[in-house]
């Protein structure tokens, strides 16, 4: 999947012109990109122009399925099936069979009178859609750059000794339930986190 920034993006932001640390930075970029995607539960740019197919196993009465990617750009198809052995039936908005709630990135099963529950069962609902951004948003890109620097300069280590002096880095921040990202990075990532 796509990295959230390129080596050149990082070097431009940090004012670097020599290839001195290019190998190390290039090895950190994919890891930080995946870490942020995993933490936020969102791929950001991976499914902007290529469709994602997502299936939902429904175990109880509900008229809502929440998509994992965000923001939704387009719904290609919404399908449902009554049993594991039956074929999918394609739903349409023209017949008021589903509705995209863009504030929650959820698909609501509807009919002309209101809501209707999805059928229950394994992979009972299948949605094909595109989501995300054509380019990483500027504030998120800044958090990616800061997190790369955080790992590049070993700021994630609690204590370092440099030429006889020691530097104490806090292993966690002041925020409750913190996963040990620095506060300024975590604040930005939490804006994009899917819950």
Angle at 105 between CA 120 and CA 39, to 5 degrees: 100
Q: Give the 3-state secondary structure of residue 14.
A: helix
φ/ψ of 39, rounded to 5, equals -60, -45
Q: Is the pLDDT of residue 170 over 60?
A: no
* Assessment of whether the complete model's pTM goes beyond 0.75: yes
The domain spans of the chain are 7-45+136-192, 52-131
Q: What is the pLDDT of residues 31-72, one digit of tens each?
A: 999 999 999 999 999 999 999 999 999 999 999 999 999 999
Average pLDDT, the chain: 89
Residues in the chain: 195
**Cα separation of 2 and 39, whole Å?**
16
Residue 141, classed as helix, strand or coil, is helix
Distances (CA, A) of 94 to 57, 90, 161: 25, 12, 66
Q: What is the pLDDT of residue 172?
A: 46
Q: Which pLDDT does position 166 carry in this prediction?
A: 60
Nearest to 105 by CA among 76, 79, 75: 75
Whole-angstrom Cα distance, residue 137 to residue 176?
A: 26
pLDDT digits (tens, 9 = 90+) for 111-167: 988 999 999 999 999 999 999 999 999 999 999 999 999 998 876 555 556 666 665
Element (H, E) at 184: helix 183-192
């Amino acid at each position: 999947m796509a990295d959230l920034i390129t080596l050149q993006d990082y070097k431009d932001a940090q004012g670097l012109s020599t290839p001195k640390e290019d190998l190390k930075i290039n090895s950190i970029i994919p890891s930080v990109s995946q870490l942020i995607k995993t933490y936020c539960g969102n791929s950001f740019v991976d499914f902007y122009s290529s469709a994602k197919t997502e299936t939902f196993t429904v175990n109880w009465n509900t008229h809502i399925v929440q998509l994992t990617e965000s923001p939704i750009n387009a719904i290609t198809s919404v399908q449902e099936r009554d049993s594991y052995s039956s074929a999918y039936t394609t739903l349409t908005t023209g017949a008021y069979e589903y509705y995209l709630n863009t504030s929650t990135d959820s698909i609501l099963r509807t009919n002309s009178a209101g809501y209707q529950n999805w059928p229950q069962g394994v992979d009972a609902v299948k949605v094909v859609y595109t989501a995300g951004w054509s380019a990483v948003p500027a504030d998120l890109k800044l958090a990616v750059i800061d997190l790369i620097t955080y790992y590049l300069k070993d700021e994630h280590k609690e204590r370092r000794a440099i030429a006889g002096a020691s530097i104490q880095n806090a292993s966690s921040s002041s925020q409750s339930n913190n996963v040990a990202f620095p506060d300024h990075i975590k604040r930005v990532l939490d804006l994009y986190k899917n819950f």
